[in-house]
A and B are shown apart, each in its own frame.
Chain A
């Protein structure tokens, strides 16, 4: 086991039960006046922080829920943050 993720329904489970869904990027930008640069910022560019990151996870081998957690990418521990 590498680390654990806490599913809101099933609780703390082995990481390998989950699928990673990317860092939380906020809402899709408005179509109106959307430049290729702004759109590629949303679609392709990532922040990859070295520290706490809000991210999506999917409980693939469990309850099939999508949820977000805050995880510190330097330690792989979940952190309390809102």
Chain B
């Protein structure tokens, strides 16, 4: 049987209108919307490994729109509403499961933070509600409400519009869609330099030769700071290692994404029955994707404390990846600064999946017209020197027993 490639293997050209560095969800979405909305079809996506390898491949594919800050909620809410349209438009099954997200709180401070967050969501028309401990147990009967827990459950926040998707399918679907509009996807192509002359981007150096272009988008996730460094640009980003695991498959029992800030754990049950679980990042920068025994132990302890029925469940796989974290937990989206034709889409940390297609849509508008859409304006790099930080760090997930 001959398998037809979704995006082909086109020959490399020596120049393109737009070069996108990074063949993940963000880069591919920008390419897709450049073609769909703006008739910019001479686009190259350069990917060092393979489509969906980096940040796209390591993520746990949860979507939601219940962030803390108003700037973020607006973007993620639109992003959440875009999925069903995108799936039918691309004619690609991304396995969207609208199961809703439950965040647990284990201290009065965390309950206060949840109240604020629920208010923000409701103010912006996003469905999100505050629950007491008993209501949490009605949603997830496996939760242990007793005081045997180191940090007993006081309540939670339920966000019904959220859910999960299949991350590989999102990358493949977008790649297929982008290729349909003429984007050339070049895998196994490493960018080794970005050339700027007289304040304008002129070309991109790759291990397959020089590509002339006037517009470059850096959408390389954890490797964005290295690429920005090629034009002498420093970013407020730490590249931290993040790990995730899946368990053996079991009968369906968990109907929602459950997360807890104090225990540093979140998990959901995949359509196949596996528990997909993730947690905090290790707080030191690295470009390796090592996994650690401490992490496995931490996850096992946290999960079995919250849901004692999980004791004895076996983990099947563990993997690590990079997260490009900014100090205010919000992304850096910028264009024509400091060089004309240089666009940035990075610093997403572990929010990159939820925001991928919607950011690509607005970034495409930015790149095609040259003017930044209002919804992306708060996320410039210069907000750090202007003191306009985005308060995402005040979200309840960062509330532990220490506050």
Contact = CB atoms under 8 A, between A and B. Distances in A.
Q: Do A and B bind each other?
A: yes
Given A16-B294, A39-B385, A40-B384, A45 B234 contact: yes
Contact of B285 (A39, A44, A48): A48
A12 B283 CA distance: 19
Interface stretch (B79-87, B134-142, B236-244, B307-315): B236-244
Contacts of B238: 46, 48
B3 interface: no
Contact of A46 (B235, B282, B284): B235
A13 B51 CA distance: 38
A49 to B, nearest CB: 8
Nearest to A21: B284
A25 B268 CA distance: 40
Nearest to B233: A45
Interface residues of B, number: 26
A36 B386 contact: yes
Nearest to B224: A48
A82 interface: no
A50 B226 contact: yes
B237 A48 contact: yes
B1 interface: no
Contacts of B239: 48, 73
Interface string B60-96: 0000000000000000000000000000000000000
A74 B293 contact: no
Given A2-B282, A20-B284, A76-B290, A48 B384 contact: no
Given A19-B283, A76-B290, A47 B386 contact: no
A2 B290 contact: yes
Contacts of B386: 36
B15 to A, nearest CB: 28
Interface string B285-305: 111101011100000000000
A30 interface: no
A73 B292 contact: no
Contacts of A50: 223, 226, 287
A36 B229 contact: no
A65 interface: no
B292 A1 contact: yes
A35 to B, nearest CB: 8
Given A44-B327, A73-B285, 16 more contacts: A1-B294, A2-B282, A2-B290, A16-B294, A19-B283, A20-B283, A20-B284, A41-B234, A44-B236, A45-B235, A45-B236, A45-B384, A47-B229, A73-B239, A73-B287, A76-B288
11 contacts: A3-B290, A20-B283, A37-B385, A39-B385, A44-B384, A46-B234, A47-B229, A47-B234, A48-B237, A50-B223, A76-B290
Interface of B: 223, 225-226, 229, 234-239, 282-288, 290, 292-294, 327, 384-387
Interface of A: 1-3, 15-16, 19-20, 23, 36-37, 39-41, 43-50, 53, 73-76
